Amino acid sequence: MIVQDIISLIQIRSQHLAIAKNNDALIHFINLGMEELYRRFNLSIKSETVLTVSDRALYELTNDDVQMLLSLNYKSGVEMKQSDVLDSMAYDYKIVNYRSFMLRKPFDGYVYAVYKASPVMLRDINDKVKLPGTMIPALLTYVMYMSHDIINRDNKTESNTFYQMFKRQCQELDQQGFTVPLNTESLAVQAKGYV
């Protein structure tokens, strides 16, 4: 499905709103909806290869779509131990912030950083929407919520109704198994590489 298809569906649902004729505003709302769905359901888990050197301990992921660093793995695929106890020395790395980490014992080689990624930002009506088809109704409801929330600042009844519908649709998607847990077992790595 492309952005134009989503905009057409929104325009059918919201003919009475002036914003329905503003494609740029609708694309921004679609991006916000995509961001919310990616955040709720962990729809994109990616990895980045980081070159390490023995005289440097602090590293930052360079990909633009990093939302949260999840884990590091040695070149062999074995997961590195993250520091979870204050002042403990039984760790391989510490997470500094959402995209940076510090190695306890720097080395020459590579590590694979697994991270939660943001969706690709849509800019044009011909861009492809990378979202499972069963999530499209939730995306449309989120855009309707945002449209009403912006326009009806004094009367929040309609926007609240759409937000409650969006939450209900997300619960149904969760029950269908769309939420990907971020624990290490679900992101397992074998000695030969990623599962």
Which H or E run contains 149?
Answer: helix 136-151
CA distance 49 to 165: 40
**Nearest of 130, 146, 140 to residue 169 by alpha carbon:** 140
Mean pLDDT over 173-186 rounds to: 76
pTM of the complete model: 0.80
Q: Is the pLDDT of residue 189 over 50?
A: no
Q: Is the pLDDT of residue 74 over 70?
A: yes
Q: Tens of pLDDT along 118-137?
A: 999 999 999 999 999 999 99
Q: What is the pLDDT of residue 178?
A: 86
User: pLDDT category, 194, cuts 50, 70, 90?
Assistant: very low
Quickly tell me which residue has 């050197």 as its tokens: 53
Q: Is the pLDDT of residue 154 over 80?
A: no
Residue type, 101: F
Mean pLDDT of the chain: 87
What DSSP designation does 84 have?
-
The length of the chain in residues reads 195
Farthest-apart Cα atoms in the chain, separation: 63
Q: Is the pLDDT of residue 175 over 70?
A: yes
- pLDDT above 90 covers a percentage of the chain that reads 68
Structure tokens at 41: 């359901």
CA distance 59 to 64: 15
Residue type, 195: V
Q: What is the pLDDT of residue 85?
A: 61
